[in-house]
Amino acid sequence: MIIEKDGLSSLMPHKGRMLLITGIREYDLDERSLCAECHITDENLFYDPVIGAVPSWVGFEFIAQAISVLSGLRARMKGEEPRIGFIMSVSSMRIEVPSFKAGSIVEIRVKQRDAFDLVYSFAGEIFLEGRKVMEGKLTVMDANDEQIETLRKEE
């Protein structure tokens, strides 16, 4: 693991129980890609004790958080603070499992495909035990300085 969970807080806005990913295995800023992981436990914010798992639809949030870390790493490389981002769309999502069982480790892979101004398109994949079980496309937008200031005032 090249970045442990404790090191993620300086790269992304997620804190406390909303920080779902547990570490970064690797990243390549030139390739605009990152591999993260999430250890599924009953401490996960979305854990459902009735099924003993996290529903698989939460996978899009795992992908979004991996994108957030990649964005934070790029910002840090430029000497900037990580920006708040917004999910604009989730599309072409294919899910092969109903849930992520407690005790499993979810591997999350993201790669940037397109960029226009502050809008980015990413391909995301999720693997369990080396098998791809989810894939899709997320379009995200970095907040500009005016939007960030508005959000801070509302807090």
pLDDT at position 16: 85
**What is the rounded average pLDDT of the residues 43-69?**
96
All structural domains of the chain = 3-154 (3.10.129.10)
Asked if pLDDT for residue 149 goes beyond 80, the answer is no
Q: How confident is the model at residue 15 (pLDDT cuts 50, 70, 90)?
A: confident
In the block, residue with structure tokens 């090249």: 2
pTM: 0.91
Confidence of residue 144 (pLDDT cuts 50, 70, 90): low
Residues 6+ apart with CB under 8 A from 149: none
How far apart CA 38 and CA 43 sit, in angstroms, is 12
Question: 155 is written with which tokens?
Answer: 């807090």
User: Would you state the pLDDT for residue 97?
Assistant: 97
Torsion sign (Cα): 40, 103, 124, 56: negative
The predicted structure's pLDDT at residue 82: 87
Whether 79 and 43 have beta carbons less than 8 Å apart is answered as no
Reference 11, options 59, 63, 66; nearest CA is 66
For residue 95, name the pLDDT band (cuts at 50, 70, 90): very high
What mean pLDDT do residues 17-21 have? Answer: 93
For the stretch 104-136, pLDDT in tens is: 999 999 999 999 988 999 999 999 999 999 999
